[in-house]
Amino acid sequence: MKNTDVLERLAVLMKERKASAPENSYVASLYRKGRNKIAQKVGEEAVETAIAAVDGSHDEVIAESADLIFHLMVLWADMDIRPEEVYAELARREGISGIEEKNSRG
């Protein structure tokens, strides 16, 4: 099993947490608090990742990055955005990357 499969498993779990909201679930508690709270957590974790990159260690950046990706995935699920939609946008950009740079060179 690849470690990246964890993203697929998390996406499935986040949908399940929307369908049934167990009292002791952190993900369900975020849905209950609402979109603004989830967005706030994404912002906080992004800032913590940036701070770790400047002041922290390799391991701290890894830990903060995991928090950031996790909370971003909660936000996607809350907005009914499928991870595949984000991956498709990244794939689309593979075809256009470098265009601006080439244009600026004339």
Ligand X SMILES: N=c1c2ncn([C@@H]3O[C@H](COP(=O)(O)OP(=O)(O)OP(=O)(O)O)[C@@H](O)[C@H]3O)c2ncn1[C@@H]1O[C@H](COP(=O)(O)O)[C@@H](O)[C@H]1O
> Cβ 89 to ligand X, closest distance in Å?
23
**Whose Cβ is closer to ligand X: residue 35's or residue 93's?**
35
67 in contact with ligand X (CB under 6 A):
yes
What string of H, E and C letters represents the secondary structure of the chain? CCCCHHHHHHHHHHHHHHHCCCCCCHHHHHHHHCHHHHHHHHHHHHHHHHHHHHHCCHHHHHHHHHHHHHHHHHHHHHCCCCHHHHHHHHHHHHCCCCHHHHHHHC
What is the C-alpha to C-alpha distance for residues 64 and 44, in angstroms, rounded to an integer?
A: 10
Stretch that binds ligand X, among 19-27, 56-64, 84-92, 95-103 (CB under 6 A): 19-27
70 in contact with ligand X (CB under 6 A):
yes
Pick from 8, 15, 21, 26: which binds ligand X (CB under 6 A)? Answer: 26
Pick from 7, 18, 25, 39: which binds ligand X (CB under 6 A)? Answer: 25
52 neighbors 64 (Cβ within 8 angstroms): yes
73 in contact with ligand X (CB under 6 A):
no
51 in contact with ligand X (CB under 6 A):
no
- Enumerate binding residues for ligand X (CB under 6 A): 13, 17, 25-28, 41, 67, 70
